[in-house]
Amino acid sequence: MTGLLEFARGPALQIAVAIFVFGTIWRLVALFLLPKKLTPSRKREGASSRPMGAARGILSRFVPHKAFARQSLFSVVNGYVFHLGLAIVVFGYAPHILYIEGLLGVSWPALPSPLIYVVGAITLASLVAALIRRLANPVQRLISSADDYFSWAVTTAPLVTGMMAAGNVGGSYETILAIHLLSFAVLLIWLPFGKLMHTFLFFISRGATGARLAWRGAKV
């Protein structure tokens, strides 16, 4: 085993996991400790409760509003493709499950490797399509920041290097595997501090918006 692979499997991942856990907890605790904004208005008569509004706010956003369905069709479908694809690759590939078992002590049956490779290729194509869409669409390009592009890069890099390691292309297996693990470590470190934190925050933000709208009697 090369020194780079030993470093990637050992200190690099250990430090990355520690930063990921600390950063995620810090962000969530800081969010819930923010002073709550008082609602100056009374609850609209006949309005649903805040918990019900929060639930509706979360669930209703999984499907685009009819008025915008046509314009947002590509973004919605492509978003589902790469989010579900990433979840399948991360939690369905046997080596990943073994790593999670060593870290948390839990495991589950793995999906067939050929299926993972196909899903990985589809997911990569979807991520590339999302980047092209962002660059080609004037509005998306205008509102995009360095965070958007860096988040895309650190999400895509482990997928690309993982497929290279699985296919044994681009160099020695140990070197590509080490680069794959290091790219995953960078992803873990960045996740709590960039827009990728929506992994944990999107339920909270959607629920808070739904509860606020429900209190005002607006349709969620």
**What is the DSSP secondary-structure string of 29-65?**
HHHHTSPPPP--SPPPTTPPPHHHHHHHHHHHTTS--
In this prediction, residue 39 carries a pLDDT of 61
In this prediction, residue 38 carries a pLDDT of 61
CA distance 57 to 96: 33
The residue among 176, 195, 132, 184 whose CA lies nearest residue 155 is 184
Written as one letter, the residue type at 40 is P
In this prediction, residue 40 carries a pLDDT of 61
Q: Residue 218's pLDDT band (boundaries 50, 70, 90)?
A: low
In this prediction, residue 110 carries a pLDDT of 95
In this prediction, residue 184 carries a pLDDT of 96
CA distance 155 to 194: 12
For the chain, percent of residues with pLDDT exceeding 90: 55
Answer yes or no: are the C-beta atoms of 84 and 127 closer than 8 Å: no
CA distance 22 to 14: 12
- Averaged pLDDT score across all residues of the chain: 86
In this prediction, residue 56 carries a pLDDT of 73
pTM: 0.84
Give the lowest-confidence range in 61-70, 104-113, 141-150, 168-177: 61-70
200 vs 71, residue with greater confidence: 200
Range 109-117 average pLDDT: 95
Range 76-95 average pLDDT: 93
pLDDT in tens, 66-77: 766 677 778 888
pLDDT in tens, 117-148: 999 999 999 999 999 999 998 988 999 999 99
